[in-house]
Amino acid sequence: MSFVRAESGMKQGLFTLLLACMAVLPGAAAAADLPPLTQGLTPIAEPKPAPALRLTDLDGKVHDLADLKGKLVVVNFWATWCPPCRREMPSLERLRVRLEKQGLAVLAVDVGEDADTVFSFSGQLEPAPNFPLLLDQDSKAMQRWKVKGLPTTFVIDPQGRVIYRAVGGREFDSPAMIEALLALTLKQ
């Protein structure tokens, strides 16, 4: 039996409203109940070269991680419906603003969604992201990077090696994170 067909007119309206609200994974509790965003990174014991990452952004422009050699690059895998991804995204932009001049770049890879969806979401963010939002619509890049859950973030050193990972939401502009990443940019 179709659930939608079984609803009366008024209930259909309520259901439509509910649908519109379900941009995010349900079950996300009130902010006070949410797990805190972490303020640290996990070092990779034996850094290895980063997997390839060559994707288009919302305007169809191609971005290749290989072109960013010499910079410290933060690669963030995310999706608009993922609550911790949504929570951490503004802090990623604040991090970029803080450390871009020191040689840090940010690439955010959205998994499985189209440009319209990502664009409309990014417009709601404050501050709005001013780094490339790349589209991994078939999730192949995510699989190449062996991501098991969203969000997952990697830090790539100027030699193109993965030196840190972060599984789960982060407060990227926390003093501890800024200090750790600033120290890495200063090493360049």
Partner 1 sequence: MNSRLFALLSAALVLLPGLPTSASQTQRSDPETGAASWETHAHGVTLLLSQIPPDPARAFYLNRGFPPQAVEPYATACVYMTVLRNDAAPGELSFRLDDWRVQSGGQSLPPKSVEAWMAQWRALGLTEAAQIAFRWAQFPPEQEYAVGEWNQGMLTTGLPPGSRFDLIARWTVAGKTYEGKLENVVCAR
Least spacing, CB of residue 16 vs partner 1, in Å: 9
Torsion sign, CA atoms 100, 122, 118, 31: positive
x/- site string to partner 1, residues 134 to 153, per CB under 8 A? ---xxx--x-----xxx---
Q: How far is the CB of 150 from partner 1 (least distance, A)?
A: 6
Dist. CA 8–CA 21, nearest whole Å: 20
Say whether residue 182 binds partner 1 (CB under 8 A): no
Residue 131: both structure tokens together:
């780094």
66 binds partner 1 (CB under 8 A): no
Are 94 and 170 a contacting pair, CB within 8 Å?
no
DSSP states of 45-91: EEEEEPPP-EEEBTTS-EEEGGGGTTSEEEEEEE-TT-HHHHHHHHH
27 interacts with partner 1 by CB under 8 A: yes
* Nearer to partner 1 among residue 7 and residue 100 (C-beta): 7
Q: Which of 28, 178, 180, 182 binds partner 1 (CB under 8 A)?
A: 28
Q: Is 21 in the site for partner 1 (CB under 8 A)?
A: yes
9 binds partner 1 (CB under 8 A): no
Among 9, 13, 38, 162, binds partner 1 (CB under 8 A): 38
**58 contacts 133 by C-beta, under 8 angstroms:** yes
58, 115, 167, 182: residue in contact with partner 1 (rule CB under 8 A)? 167
Do the beta carbons of residue 115 and residue 90 sit within 8 Å?
no
Omega before 90 within 30 of 0, i.e. cis? no
Binding stretches for partner 1 (CB under 8 A): 2-4, 7, 11, 15, 18-19, 21-23, 25-30, 33, 35, 38-40, 42, 79, 81-84, 111-114, 137-139, 142, 148-150, 166-169
